[in-house]
Amino acid sequence: MFHKEGHKIIFITLIIIVASFLLVDSFITAAWLRTLVLILLLGFFILILQFFRNPKRRTSFNDKHVVSPVDGKVVVIEEVFEKEYFKDKRLQVSVFMSPINVHVTRYPIGGHVIYSKYHPGKYLVAWHPKASEENERTTVVVENEAYGKVLYRQIAGALAKRIVNYAKQNNKAVQGADSGFIKFGSRVDLFLPLNTKINVQLNQKVRGGESVIAEVNE
């Protein structure tokens, strides 16, 4: 299954690849070179298909749990001052996505969207310390009674040129459901209450909609 954000790109790429195959077959006479170019074109098309894949995930719904919003690697776990919405200290957990990761963004908790805002910005590499504040990004806050408020921020990277955010204020959020997409390399930051129990470690690989990032500390 492929994400709807990739349908147009996949179709255009397919046309270009087919046309390229015909041109290569017509104008390149050296068999070894023709074979090499065809393999490279096919490999490129497979990478595009892989990038826009949208695998089904089995989310164990729990209002006291925060699941990872994306696939990737945990690169930040630290206490920070969140300036945009909370304006107080929070625990930040950041997940970095490489171009080969699934780039679907999923709701980390169920509840209701109480804040959603898009910010234009730069395209610093996603792991840059200032990427969270200076890059193109969207900020979404979801709230439920059991956990409280969770802010997640989609951040464009050096290769990401478009962030898609489906979360609109007053929308119902279903934990693990599709809430957006980031095209070509990026990261997502989570901002959680200070008394949250963190269940992941730095450099740990996580799966969107399945890996439990944090839970209520009872």
**Tokens 């070179």, residue?**
33
Structure tokens belonging to residue 70: 């994306």
**Of the residues 116, 132, 186, 211, which is catalytic?**
186
Give catalytic status of residue 186 as yes or no: yes
- Pairwise CA distance, residues 212 & 18, whole Å: 42
First to last CA, the chain: 39
Q: 188-206 as b/e, with b when 16 or more CB fall inside 10 Å?
A: bbbbbbeebebebeeebeb
Residues marked active site are found at 186
